[in-house]
Chain A
Amino acid sequence: MRAIPRGETDGMDWRRARVGSWLRLIVVGCVLLVVSAFTAQAAKIGDLTQTRWTEQAWRFVTLSDPVVRYACLGTVLLGISCGLLGSFLVVRRMALMGDALSHAVLPGVALGFLWNLEKDPLAIFIGALVAGLAGSATVSILTRTTRLKEDTALGMVLASFFGLGLCLMSMFQRLPTGNKSGIETFLFGQAAALGPGDIQVMGTVTLVVVVLLFLGYKEFLLVSFDPGFARVLALPTVWFERLLVMLLAFSVVAALQAVGVVLVSAMLIIPAATASLLTDRFHRVLVWSSCIGMLSGLSGAFLSFLGTRLPTGPFMVLSASGFFAVALLFAPRQGIVPRWYRQRSQRVRIERENTLKAIYQVLEANGFSGETVSVEALARRRRVAPVAVEAEIRSLVAAEFATASAVDVALTPSGWQRACAIVRNHRLWELYLTHAAQIAPDHVHDDAEKIEHVLGEATVRELERRLPRIDTDPHGRPIPSLPVASADGRIGVGRQDDRPRGYGGRS
């Protein structure tokens, strides 16, 4: 009974969350489509000629040339559709399905050329679509009817279809028109070869992808993340998966002319993988991934435009990989550098806390008779060389937890407070384990040694509330209460006031 209202609120959340991001996406899509309708009117100017790269760059930036406009528009459309569908692939761990599908379309492209021996976008689209779907169907039939695993089936279909495509292409190249037909641009992509027909096909595909994903977002999300639950809800899971593969084939085929057969899969995977490093929510992954797809598409088109006869696909993939590398290193939560920094600062904190604890223990063993602790006593306590202790003390001084002279060290008020807090955490936890979990007193130290650094304030309050008495730990040592740091900066006052009862306990 409880599951139903929860499901409803989840649905509400989804709807609210998706309206914002999807609205933005739809606005972008509509603008692009309007622009494509306008640019499709313009005529295509002839092929690029050998020019200086600065001139080429200027031509690109000013968008004065229809070739440039087609290229930009095409790569942007491609970035959106591939980014959106790639997110589903990455989430469902089907990344290599995209790879297989994109290689498998090659014979279809060749047959599409065969239709009337020239570059007819619609014929190529249909041929490639049929080949792509045949490829993905072969993979699923192979895994169902034989003992072959999915990776083997994918690799086989990928390479066999690609081989067939290469055979067909090598047959065309003997034809008198073969070399001029531009079929080679389908291997590595040439955004500058995009024509109005290509843009129309790409625009339609992107529109279909965006609209279908918008209408069925909740269902697609559910089917991708929890297929079992989707089946329980009587969703036709299989049909959604087929629809997804179908959309995938559509967008792969539409992207062919710009990125090429060999590297389409990278445009599916890399933007989506980058996005999944940046955020946890799926609708944000979709938005990020299509943005990164667009940006890398544009920069790939720009770079390949600078030279003559440079393929677009590899440049696009390299820009996408650049984004990925930046995200992998610097993403706020997932990035390697922020994570390393967090781990390091935590390690430093734990080391400092251990030193503070040792200073407290030495003070305690001396009956809190002096303000300072000698380096030598601290080294004995920590069981390390004096040199190492000196480094630890330097770290404490840097954090203003202690003041040090050559031979001894004294805690500042904040250091004293921290030391008391750590010892208190440690001993409270030991007490809790012996009291609530019935663990023998000589078994609790190691556990407390780890948890003392991560106990939060709320947990400490909870422990205080649950334990009947919190004056001594299981080993008979007093548990310090938290001193209030005094304003005049002298620790003596604060410590004396809060001096725990029962000095001189076992150390």
Chain B
Amino acid sequence: MNLIPEFQFHRVFVEPWTTELGSHGLMALVTFLVGSTCGLIGNFLILRRMALVGDAMSHSVLPGIAVAFLITGSRGVGAMVLGAMVAAWATHGLIEVISRHSRLKQDAAIGIAFSTLFAVGVVLIALFADKVDLDQDCVLNGELPMIPLEPAVRLGNLTLGPPALLRLVAVLLGSLLLLVAFYKELLLSSFDPGLAACLGIRVRWIHHGLMLWLSMVVVASFEAVGAILVIALLILPGATASLLTDRMVPRLLWSTAHAALSSVSGMHLSVALDCSPAGAAVVAGAGWFGVAWIFSPTEGLLPRWLQRRNNKQAKADSMSGPIGEVDSSHPSSELRENT
């Protein structure tokens, strides 16, 4: 009947790093991989005001995955990724069709497209529950606790780890590679599409490429954290970083740091409260965002409040100087007395 388990320092802070390293440590590592990959692309989404396109994509991969399961009857990674990418592109297309061929604006188009596709996915899963190796719970929560249970991949004598972990590492490396290769183009087309087009960068191709990359990242993350929490991992690191610095490279580094901090603290939180690890990672991430929001040197609530107070003080001081005390030696003081 105890909702919150009794707090034991050893169980919460020591065991995950010693005896439970294989499960809790691994979960933290997976969360970090997902968070840092999503964080990298999330920075660009935030800059391009496409945060909610990420939202839409993460919802709409569900029917793609469900259809892929129904057709192939297995959890083959290739089919799953393909199905999800097709679904992500279908969302992209639906949004374009609705917002171009009717008077509805993009926000309504996004809302309609992703909720319809998500509903299709849930219905498919509910109708074919016995055939699909997915349930409604895993759609929302992800399968983070299942990952350590998968049989590890071995290469010769070397134990590499569960396949999900390897996939995430591959996606992270791929993302880094893409980022390094197209950094200049991405940066320029995000900040100044007009100039980028003038310089001969194909802005639309960059946009479509970014969407493709996003759908890949979303599909890879879906398995770990579920459909809705992906949004948090896409937006939170970038949003936190944008409160801390103005430069792009430090932002990318800060978002990676945010992913690391929130995955570790989220893991401890989930052990302490014995709750869903993906949810706990998101709550921890939101907590770190809150810390940045309050204490960030330039943007934070507290420093700005202090500064405002100082300014007010300074203003009051400087106001009280010349007006409050009438300098009797000044020629105008006589004048003032006379009138």
Contacts and interface: CB of A to CB of B under 8 A. Distances in A.
Interface of A: 90, 93-96, 98-99, 103, 114, 142, 145-149, 151-152, 154-156, 158-160, 162-172, 174-176, 184, 187-188, 262-263, 265-266, 269-270, 273, 276-277, 307, 309-311, 313-315, 317-318, 321, 324, 328, 334, 336
Given A159-B231, A159-B235, A263 B119 contact: yes
Interface of B: 1, 3-4, 46, 49-52, 54-55, 98, 101-105, 107-108, 110-112, 115-116, 118-120, 122-123, 126-127, 136-137, 140-141, 228-232, 234-236, 238-239, 242-243, 270, 273-276, 278-283, 285-286, 289, 293, 299, 301
Contacts of B55: 96, 99, 155, 158
A152 B46 contact: yes
B127 A273 contact: no
Contacts of B50: 151
B127 A171 contact: no
Contacts of A99: 55, 111
30 contacts: A90-B104, A90-B108, A95-B105, A95-B110, A96-B107, A142-B293, A146-B299, A148-B239, A151-B51, A152-B46, A152-B235, A159-B232, A162-B229, A163-B232, A163-B278, A163-B280, A164-B286, A165-B279, A166-B276, A168-B275, A171-B3, A262-B228, A265-B111, A276-B104, A277-B103, A311-B123, A311-B126, A313-B119, A321-B115, A334-B103
Contact of A160 (B105, B232, B234): B232
A170 to B, nearest CB: 4
A455 B5 CA distance: 80
A154 B53 CA distance: 12
Nearest to B281: A163
A166 B120 CA distance: 22
Nearest to B108: A95
A263 B119 CA distance: 8
Contact of A263 (B107, B110, B118, B126): B118
Instruction: Pick from B49, B286, B293, B299 the residue with the most CB of A within 10 Å.
Output: B286
Contacts of A277: 102-104
9 smallest A-B Cβ distances: which pairs?
Answer: A163-B282, A159-B232, A266-B115, A160-B286, A170-B276, A166-B279, A314-B119, A167-B279, A317-B119
A100 B242 CA distance: 21
Contacts of B137: 184
Given A152-B46, A314-B126, A317-B116, A334 B102 contact: yes
Contacts of A149: 46, 49, 51
A270 B112 contact: yes
A177 to B, nearest CB: 9
Given A152-B46, A175-B3, 14 more contacts: A93-B105, A96-B111, A149-B51, A155-B234, A163-B280, A163-B286, A167-B276, A169-B276, A171-B274, A175-B1, A263-B118, A276-B104, A310-B127, A324-B112
A151 to B, nearest CB: 4
Given A90-B104, A174-B274, A318-B116, A164 B111 contact: no
B136 A265 contact: no
Contacts of B54: 155
A334 B101 CA distance: 9
A472 B151 CA distance: 91
B229 A148 contact: no
A71 to B, nearest CB: 17
A315 B123 contact: yes
Instruction: Pick from B136, B234, B238 the residue with the most CB of A within 10 Å.
Output: B136
B101 A187 contact: no
A265 B289 contact: no
B3 to A, nearest CB: 6
Instruction: Pick from A96, A167, A175 the residue with the most CB of B within 10 Å.
Output: A167
A163 to B, nearest CB: 3
Contacts of A265: 111, 115
Nearest to B110: A96
Instruction: Pick from A142, A163, A171, A187 the residue with the most CB of B within 10 Å.
Output: A163
B119 to A, nearest CB: 4
A310 B126 CA distance: 6
Contacts of B242: 147-148
A152 B239 contact: yes
Contacts of A188: 122, 126, 136
Nearest to B54: A155
Contact of B236 (A145, A151, A156, A309): A156
A404 B264 CA distance: 84
B101 A336 contact: yes
